[in-house]
Amino acid sequence: MTVLRLIADDLTGALDAAAPFATPDAPVHLVLDLAAVPLQASLTHSTESRDLPKAAAEQHVRAAHAALGAGLAGAGLWGAGLWFKKIDSVLRGHPFAETLALAQAGGFRRCVFTPAFPDMGRILRDGHALMRGANGAWQAAWPGPVRDGFGDALGLDVVVFDAETPDDLREGVRPYLGDPNTLWAGSGGLARALAPPVTPLPAPPVGLFILGTSHPATRAQAFALAALTQPAPSNGTIHPQGHAPLLLDPVPASPDAQNTRAALRASLSRLMPPQDGSALLITGGDCLALLLRVTAATGLVCLGEVAPGLPLSRIIGGRLDGARIISKSGGFGPPEALCRFIRG
């Protein structure tokens, strides 16, 4: 069993990269409070630092390393962990600075760094990060060679390799497997290359879709869902049911992100747990963080994934304790990606 310590800069990323390592029998626990790290084998944590200033983001990463490392020692697993720095597949936030901060905090001598996630249209070619655009053509996700983002990186051997397929990723990591001095930094594509192969979990029916992002990919998915769902009620309690799925999507009626957040908060305060075994599906790390706060959840247990980029977790604590939730980054997937959870 892999003993995982994963640090991401947003919540959906923390689950995306943890999911390939998780199974219902050996889940990965999401740590929300670094002052209360559980004594579990595998842990993932979001520093919520993508939009912070660089210096603050680096400090958050160092604090996370200290807390999660202490958890390893408390569980009698010191020296046994695979450390993974989850980065955004199109290099948003502070991927280089945060990776360097973690490498320095952990005393790693090598870092294998790749944002490639071929299953999601993110690759590395000739050292450059590319993403597939809406028209199907490859376009730059970063303005220059990825390795240049590290500058000199004195004392750290940074390994960046081209990867256009999942097999490329598996071959690229092979020389460094099992080396405790290697820090792994990448997206869900790298996580899948490192984790043992597992069968995707059965996808539960979804009783409520919660879409809180304005990314064009999510907007196209919302349009496709609208014909197959009913709007969540604007007053009274919200009761998710798999046989009559609801859609909570305040983005079209909100003039800006602040209003979207306020509308989401008001609606989520009326949300009741599903009573029929159906799940919730939520897009966007900020949206997921808001859901957990509003419902007073204390954590999540990642059970695996129902498909690449679609982790399945169980909520711990609060009003939705025990409810299952599928999370998804707001920037992935074709328009019909979410309809499968209705059509079976």
Nearest to 117 by CA among 168, 83, 82: 168
Query: Residue 191: pLDDT above 80?
Result: yes
* Phi, psi angles (nearest 5°) of residue 107: 65, 30
Checking 138-141 for CB contacts under 8 A at 24+ apart, the result is 141/89, 141/90, 141/91, 141/115
pLDDT at 248: 95
pLDDT for the residue numbered 76: 56
Q: For strands 81-86 and 182-186, give the pairing.
A: parallel
The helix (run of H) or strand (run of E) holding residue 211 is strand 206-211
Reduced to 3 states (helix: H, G, I; strand: E, B; else coil), residue 272 is coil
Per residue in 50-93, pLDDT (tens digit) is 999 999 999 999 999 999 988 666 555 555 579 999 999 999 99
Largest CA distance in the chain: 58
> What is the C-alpha separation between 344 and 332, in angstroms, rounded?
20
User: Rounded to 5 degrees, what are φ and ψ at 287?
Assistant: -65, -45
Amino acid code (one letter) for 311: P
**pLDDT at position 53, please?**
98
Phi, psi values for residue 278, rounded to 5°: -75, 165
Using pLDDT thresholds of 50, 70 and 90, give the confidence band for residue 133. confident
What average pLDDT does this structure show over 34-46?
A: 89
Helix, strand or coil for residue 23? coil
Instruction: Taking residues 302-331, report their average pLDDT.
Output: 94
The confidence score (pLDDT) of residue 80 equals 59
Does residue 45 carry a pLDDT above 80? yes
pLDDT for 73: 60
Backbone angles phi, psi at 238, to 5 degrees: -105, 115
- Percent helix, percent strand, percent coil in the chain, to nearest 5: 30, 25, 45
**Residue % of the chain over a pLDDT of 70:** 96
Domains, the chain: 3-194 (3.40.50.10840), 206-343 (3.40.980.20)
Q: How confident is the model at residue 110 (pLDDT cuts 50, 70, 90)?
A: very high
Q: What is the number of other CB atoms lying within 10 angstroms of the CB of residue 55?
A: 11
Residue 40 DSSP label: -
Q: What is the pLDDT of residue 249?
A: 92
Percentage of the chain lying above the pLDDT 90 cut = 79
Q: Give CA 136 to chain center in angstroms.
A: 24
What are the Cα distances from residue 54, in Å, to 57, 58, 210? 5, 6, 30
Report angle CA 134, 139, 145 to the nearest 5 degrees: 150
pLDDT at 74: 57
User: Per-residue pLDDT tens for 278-302?
Assistant: 999 999 889 999 999 999 999 999 9
The confidence band for 332, taking pLDDT boundaries of 50, 70 and 90, is: confident
